[in-house]
Structures are given as structure tokens and as C-alpha cells.
Amino acid sequence: MCATCGCSAPAVIRVFPDPDHHHHGHEDEHGHEDEHGHRPGGRTGRIVGSLANGGDQRTVQLQQKVLAKNDRLAGLNRDWLRQRGVLAVNLMSSPGAGKTTLLERTARELGDRVAISVIEGDQAAALDATRIRAAGCRVVQINTGAGCHLDAEMVAEGLRVLDPPSGSVVMIENVGNLVCPSLFDLGEQARVVLASVTEGDDKPLKYPHMFRRADLVLVSKTDLLPYVDFDSKRHAWDVRRTSPDALMLQLSAATGAGMHEWYAWLRRRTPAPHD
């Protein structure tokens, strides 16, 4: 149950096997506990109330309870990743900003130097997971149903299935949404926000919570700058005001411009494999 947005459907985990790893290879709603001791997708029904009968207060209390539980599970994910020596990156944006295209090119060009696996979050279908697997990545698809974001419990199950090796990178492609994903810690070590030039330069001001906690802001689809109304200076200024400590890079996954800076950022944060 997400008291923030009202979604309540359990997640469905889809495993995409590869020749080197023996997974189940079928769609499954996992009902067992993972090594963290919690179950994925165990949400209950909505709590609905009016302002007259205290419904607003109940919603706030439920939201705090949901976020507190999520933060506890995110801490377990973070410990698990640290002990393994694995970098997890939470990749967030609005729909269509280019997350999947970025991951496809990253897998093809960086995959021979860094082991990359992907947790793919969408409300339905497995279109993006199919693309990621074709690019050479191990991938787990999480369909959130009515849910508009991934949470720490879903990611814990994805990590359990992927079992990433030490010294590798797990890219978490969150559900396309500039609101709720910003509220939910997944246990990641870094948050990356894609801001495509096609969606306008006003997003840092309209969705400040998303940008405020970003470690890196990637301005994507820069090859389209000549054809869209996007003020790069204004956008950069608004990002700086919203998130003074965030690094900002411009790139195009279509042409490859700026991709080497993105790869260098990833490589600097990828831990050395444990003995």
C-alpha cells in the first residue's frame, strides 16, 4: 500500500534467464521470503477517509508507516550490496526520457569491462526487459501493476534473483514517474535522474523532490536540441538551485555524445571485486 499515491497491487517478478545462469524462466509471483526475511509485494487494501472523519491524518500516518518500513528494508539492501561489493544505481525519469536506450548502449559499450545487470520496473509488460536482455544484460522485470514506483521490498527480490557478482553494477530502472520514486529509498548507493530535452526545461522547478536528492542529472537526447524549445542555461541554473551538490552531464545515447563521461562516472563508483 502506497499512501502517497494510493497504489496497492502486488508486484510480479519476471525472470529473464541467460545461458550462464540457471533461473526458473517463467513468470512468477514469488510468495516466499528472501534472505532479508521479507516478502515482496505484500501490500494491503487502500485506506480511504474524508477530512471530516480524520481521513487526512490517517493518510499521513499510514504514509509515515509505509516509508518507515521501506527505509528499514532499504537499509538491509544497502548492507547486502556493501557486503557483496556491488554498486546499485537508481535510474529515474519521466516516461520516454531515454532510460532504456541509455542502458542498452551502456551494456553494449561498457559490458565487457564491468558486469552489469538490470532490475527493470514497469507497471505492465516486459518490453524494456526484452530490449535490455538483447543488449547482453541479465535482467529481472518487475511489473508493479497499479504501482507507480519500485520499493525496497521489490528490489530485494530482484537482487535475490539476479545474485550479482562482486565488483558489478546493478542498474535499477525505476517506473517512469517524477513524483513517487523520489520518496522511496531502494538501498541504492547513487540516484541518477534523466531529464530529456524533449520534455522541457522547467522540470527541476515543477518536480523539485526528484532533483533534490539526485547525485547525477543526465540531460538526455541532446542531439534533438536544435529541434526543441529547451533553454540549457536556464535548466542548469534551476538544477543548481534545486540540488547544489548534484553533478550534471549532457549526453545522447543515440549518437554517443557524452557517453564516455557517463561511463567514467560509473567506473569511479564501481567497487573492486572482493577476494
Cell numbers 547544489 correspond to 244
For residue 54, pLDDT beyond 80: no
For residue 157, pLDDT beyond 50: yes
Q: Report pLDDT for 187.
A: 98
Q: What percent of the chain has pLDDT over 90?
A: 74
Quick one: 12-30+46-269 is in which CATH superfamily? P-loop containing nucleotide triphosphate hydrolases (3.40.50.300)
Cell numbers 491524518 correspond to 57
Is the distance from CB of 153 to CB of 41 less than 8 angstroms?
A: yes
Question: Over the stretch 56-99, which tens digit does the pLDDT of each residue have?
Answer: 666 556 567 778 999 999 999 999 999 999 999 999 999 999 99
Give the separation between CA 89 and CA 175, rounded to whole angstroms. Answer: 14
Cell numbers 538526455 correspond to 220
Q: Report pLDDT for 41.
A: 37
Long-range contacts of 65-72 (CB under 8 A, 24+ apart): 65/3, 66/1, 66/2, 66/3, 66/4, 67/183, 67/184, 70/151, 70/152, 70/153, 70/184, 70/185, 71/152, 71/185
For residue 193, pLDDT beyond 90: yes
Q: Report pLDDT for 135.
A: 96
Output phi, psi for 265, to 5 deg: -60, -45
Amino acid at 104: E
Amino acid at 27: E
In this prediction, residue 55 has a pLDDT band, given cuts at 50, 70 and 90, of low
* Cα atoms found within 13 Å of the Cα of residue 165, Cβ hemisphere only: 10
Q: Mean pLDDT, to the nearest integer, of 92-113?
A: 97
In this prediction, residue 14 has a pLDDT band, given cuts at 50, 70 and 90, of confident
Is the distance from CB of 88 to CB of 174 less than 8 angstroms?
A: no
Q: Report pLDDT for 13.
A: 76
Query: Dihedral sign, CA of 139, 144, 150, 154?
Result: negative
Q: What percent of the chain has pLDDT over 70?
A: 78
pTM for the predicted model, two decimal places? 0.82
3-class state of residue 23 by DSSP: coil
Query: Dihedral sign, CA of 27, 32, 36, 41?
Result: positive
Is the distance from CB of 76 to CB of 187 less than 8 angstroms?
A: yes
Per-residue HEC secondary structure of 234-272 comes to: HHHHHHHHHCCCCEEEECCCCCCCCHHHHHHHHHHHCCC
DSSP string, 158-195: HHHHH-PPTT-EEEEE--S-SSGGGG---S-SEEEEEE
Select from 72, 270, 265, 94 the least CA-distant residue to 182: 94
For residue 188, pLDDT beyond 90: yes
